[in-house]
């Protein structure tokens, strides 16, 4: 009988996650990941007008708001049989891409960065960066009531590297702000752009706006190419063992996303199961609730025997699948990513380090994608970004909308009768990754070491759950 260790809370932002590990002989032998709050979006959408869904689902999450709006919009547009204008469709894709860029910077520096380097290694910093000095002083003096307590373990030792990472951590705030400016240029405001609609976008898109967007994103690209990727590589070089830790089983799933001017997706849909590439089929996806707090009719039941989470368990032909930037890059055989992993002597598969590097590489891919779309739109600026359509029509039908989100493949389903939503189903990235019944994150935790120099530690469990970039608000929705 192993020892049970509870880590709660474990997420830095976005919802409540608890991880319970069973530890034997210094290693995790079992892990349960719990989503401990109820949400209810799928329930309260029922009975509402179909056009309400896009606006409502943008509130599923405080981090990845816009991606939900876009997935919903795609599903509703399909049901209403509205074909958007080419420029309108591209503008929506661009808005999603800018959102993902902001999210990847956020994850790399703020949501997982402090798992790898200890701010206090830079405690005797004597350089001239005033921001670095003030943060170190604030931590030393506990100015904000921040308790500086890191889990036991090995962090980056080199003082100079820690000083550099801390300086970049602070710079990253400015680039997240720039990325949000880019979202607002595309979609009128951030968070929750309200420009998105069937048939296109309501934003007034001008050449001037696109040039401004291009210039903003080129500054972000400078940071991602020159700083973020270098920092991700520095972390990878310091922790080569993490190419072998956090293996979620090697099944991956991705949906078509980031459509290009020629209407082909930059990220193609696909599934890898047991090492074999397959075509993605919606009919192969089911959601199991055996270990989730729901009755068979979808009501809450927190007393259900054996249940331990509000997260459901999506499965592909009954199998778990990891989703996220790593899944997209592996399914699409991304050369840039494969070259980087190979230059580091790493394993090209499911791992903590694979997930960390994949976010950096995908961020650069997305910036290149944005440049090519902006270029195309500038050449076609006189084409319409929206066309007339009737929002008051009482549509009937059902559709899935697939979208990209920073944390993986996103699917929204709506069944509508006479303009009223009868059923809503969201299958969200963090639902795949943090599902019960031995889902990807639970599998990735098995075998992790739980001691460091004779002392018990949860550090590798924390690094592993963070490597999936958990969002419990989304996963439960
Ligand atoms: Ni709330 Fe989200 C992303 C979505 S996570 S962060 O990215 O969809 O599952």
Structure confidence by residue, pLDDT tens digits, 68-92? 999 999 999 999 999 999 999 999 9
Q: Residue 100 Cα, ligand 1 centroid: separation in angstroms?
A: 10
**Architecture in CATH for domain 3-475:** Orthogonal Bundle (1.10)
Q: Which residues pair with 257 in a beta bridge?
A: 267
Check pocket membership of 402 for ligand 1, CB cut-off 6 A.
no
Check pocket membership of 471 for ligand 1, CB cut-off 6 A.
yes
Check pocket membership of 105 for ligand 1, CB cut-off 6 A.
no
Per-residue pLDDT, 145: 63
Mutate to test the pocket of ligand 1, among 408, 425, 434 (most ligand atoms within 8 A of CB): 408
Q: What is the pLDDT of residues 46-59, one digit of tens each?
A: 999 999 999 999 99
Q: What is the pLDDT of residues 428-458, one digit of tens each?
A: 999 999 999 999 999 999 999 999 999 999 9
Phi, psi torsion values for 277, nearest 5 degrees? -75, 135
Query: In this structure, are residues 468 and 325 in contact, taking their beta carbons and an 8 Å threshold?
Result: no
Query: What is the value of pTM for the model shown?
Result: 0.96
Q: Which atom of ligand 1 is nearest to the CA of 470?
A: 5
Per-residue pLDDT, 125: 83
Check pocket membership of 430 for ligand 1, CB cut-off 6 A.
yes
Distance between CA atoms of residues 143 and 145, nearest Å? 6
Per-residue pLDDT, 16: 85
Check pocket membership of 421 for ligand 1, CB cut-off 6 A.
no
Q: What is the pLDDT of residues 218-271, one digit of tens each?
A: 999 999 999 999 999 999 999 999 999 999 999 999 999 999 999 999 999 999
Q: Residue 474 Cα, ligand 1 centroid: separation in angstroms?
A: 5
Residue 13 predicted with pLDDT over 90: no
Residue 12 predicted with pLDDT over 90: no
Alpha-carbon distance values, 280 to 72, 256, 272, 277 (Å):
19, 9, 9, 9
Q: Minimal CA–CA distance to 163: which of 115, 116, 129?
A: 129
| Mean pLDDT (the chain, rounded) | 95
In this structure, how many other beta carbons lie within 10 angstroms of the beta carbon of residue 336? 14
Model confidence band, residue 147 (pLDDT cutoffs 50, 70, 90) = low
Alpha-carbon distance values, 246 to 49, 300, 348, 450 (Å):
43, 32, 13, 13
Task: Identify each DSSP E strand in 163-218 by its residue range.
Answer: 196-197, 200-201
Q: Residue 355 Cα, ligand 1 centroid: separation in angstroms?
A: 15
Check pocket membership of 63 for ligand 1, CB cut-off 6 A.
yes
Distance between CA atoms of residues 91 and 134, nearest Å? 40
Q: Which atom of ligand 1 is nearest to the CA of 430?
A: 9
Check pocket membership of 111 for ligand 1, CB cut-off 6 A.
no
Check pocket membership of 350 for ligand 1, CB cut-off 6 A.
no
Q: What is the pLDDT of residues 462-473, one digit of tens each?
A: 999 999 999 999
In this structure, how many other beta carbons lie within 10 angstroms of the beta carbon of residue 280? 18
Q: Minimal CA–CA distance to 439: which of 309, 345, 325, 338?
A: 309
Check pocket membership of 410 for ligand 1, CB cut-off 6 A.
yes
Check pocket membership of 411 for ligand 1, CB cut-off 6 A.
no
Q: Which atom of ligand 1 is nearest to the CA of 68?
A: 8
């Amino acid at each position: 009988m192993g020892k049970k260790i509870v880590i709660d809370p474990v997420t830095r932002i976005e919802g409540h996650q608890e991880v319970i590990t069973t530890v034997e002989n210094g290693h995790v032998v079992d892990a349960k990941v719990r989503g401990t709050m109820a949400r209810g979006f799928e329930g309260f959408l029922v009975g509402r007008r179909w056009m309400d869904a896009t606006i409502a689902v943008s509130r599923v999450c405080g981090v990845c708001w816009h991606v939900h709006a876009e997935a919903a919009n795609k599903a509703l547009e399909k049901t209403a049989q509205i074909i958007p204008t080419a420029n309108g469709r591209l503008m929506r894709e661009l808005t999603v891409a800018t959102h993902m860029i902001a999210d990847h910077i956020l994850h790399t520096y703020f949501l997982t960065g402090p798992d790898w380097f200890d701010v206090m290694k830079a405690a005797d910093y004597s350089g001239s960066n005033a921001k670095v000095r003030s943060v170190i002083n604030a931590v030393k003096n506990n100015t904000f009531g921040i308790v500086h307590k890191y889990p036991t373990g090995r962090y980056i030792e080199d003082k100079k590297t820690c000083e550099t990472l801390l300086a970049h951590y602070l710079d990253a705030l400015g680039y997240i702000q720039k990325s949000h400016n880019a979202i607002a240029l595309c979609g009128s405001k951030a968070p929750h752009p309200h420009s998105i609609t069937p048939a296109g976008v309501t934003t007034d898109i001008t050449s001037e706006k696109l040039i401004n967007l291009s210039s903003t994103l080129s500054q972000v690209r400078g940071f991602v190419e020159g700083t973020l990727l270098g920092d991700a590589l520095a972390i990878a070089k310091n922790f080569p063992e993490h190419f072998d830790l956090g293996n979620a089983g090697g099944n991956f799933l991705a949906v078509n996303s980031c459509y290009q001017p020629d209407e082909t997706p930059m990220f193609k849909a696909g599934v890898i199961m047991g090492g074999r590439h397959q075509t993605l089929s919606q009919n192969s996806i089911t959601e199991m609730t055996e270990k989730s707090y729901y009755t068979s009719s979808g009501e809450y039941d927190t007393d259900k025997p054996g249940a331990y989470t509000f997260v459901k368990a999506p499965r592909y032909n009954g199998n778990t699948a990891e989703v996220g930037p790593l899944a997209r890059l592996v399914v699409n055989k991304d050369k840039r990513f494969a070259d980087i992993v190979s230059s580091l002597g790493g394993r090209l598969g499911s791992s903590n380090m694979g997930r960390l590097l994949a976010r950096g590489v995908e961020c650069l891919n997305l910036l290149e994608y944005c440049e090519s779309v902006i270029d195309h739109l500038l050449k076609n600026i006189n084409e319409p970004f929206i066309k007339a359509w009737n929002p008051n029509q009482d549509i009937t039908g059902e559709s899935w909308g697939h979208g990209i989100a920073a944390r993986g493949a996103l699917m929204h389903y709506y069944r509508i009768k006479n303009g009223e939503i009868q059923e809503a189903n969201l299958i969200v990235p963090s639902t795949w990754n943090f599902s019960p019944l031995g889902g990807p994150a639970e599998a990735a935790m098995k075998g992790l070491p739980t001691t460091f120099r004779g002392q018990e530690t949860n550090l590798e469990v924390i690094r592993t759950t963070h490597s999936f970039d958990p969002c419990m608000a989304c996963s439960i929705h």
